Amino acid sequence: MRVLAAMSGGVDSAVAAALAVEAGHDVVGVHMALSRNRDQFRTGSRGCCSIEDAGDARRAADVLGIPYYVWDLSETFEETVVADFLAEYSAGRTPNPCVRCNEHIKFEALLDKATALGFDAVATGHYARVVEGDGGTRELHRSPNDAKDQSYVLAVMGSERLRRSIFPLGGFASKDEVRAEAERRGLSVSAKPDSYDICFVADGDTQGFLRDRLGARPGEIVDASGDVLGEHDGAYAYTVGQRKGLGIDRPAADGRPRYVLEVRPADNQVVVGPAELLSVDRVDASLALWFDGVLDGPTALAAPGQWFDAEVQVRAHGAPVAARVRAVPGRDDDGAGSVEVELTGATLRGVAPGQSLVVYAGTRVLGQATVDDAYRAASRASQVAEGVR
3 state SS for 19-76: HHHHCCCEEEEEEEECCCCCCCCCCCCCCCCCHHHHHHHHHHHHHHCCCEEEEECHHH
Say if residues 74 and 33 touch (Cβ distance below 8 Å).
yes
Shortest CA distance to 107 belongs to which of 71, 156, 60, 64?
156
> Which residue numbers are catalytic?
101, 199
pLDDT of the residue at 49: 65
CA distance 163 to 368: 17
Q: In what order do the strands lie in the sheet with 121-123?
A: 68-72, 26-33, 2-6, 121-123, 165-166
Listed as ranges, residues in the chain with pLDDT below 50 are 38-46, 333, 381-382, 384-385, 387-389
Please state the domain extents for the chain.
2-191, 216-273, 278-385
Give the C-alpha separation, 112 to 107, whole Å: 7
Strand runs labelled E in 165-256:
165-166, 219-223, 228-232
Would you state the CATH architecture of domain 216-273? Roll (2.30)
Q: Express each pLDDT in 326-353 by its tens digit.
A: 999 876 545 579 999 999 988 999 999 9
Asked: is 2-191 a CATH 1.20.1250.20 domain? The reply is no
pLDDT value of residue 373: 95
Residue 22 makes CB contacts below 8 A (sequence gap 6+) with none
In the chain, which ranges are continuous DSSP H helix? 11-22, 51-64, 74-77, 83-90, 97-101, 111-116, 151-154, 158-162, 175-184, 206-214, 377-385
At 280, the amino acid letter reads: V
Instruction: List the strands of the sheet with 228-232, edge to edge.
Output: 228-232, 219-223, 269-273, 259-264
Closest by CA to 287, choosing from 330, 323, 324, is 330
pLDDT for position 367:
96
Burial class (CB in 10 A: 0-12, 13-18, 19+), 384: exposed
**Could you tell me the CATH superfamily of domain 278-385?**
Translation factors (2.40.30.10)
Dihedral sign from CA coordinates of 154, 160, 161, 166? positive
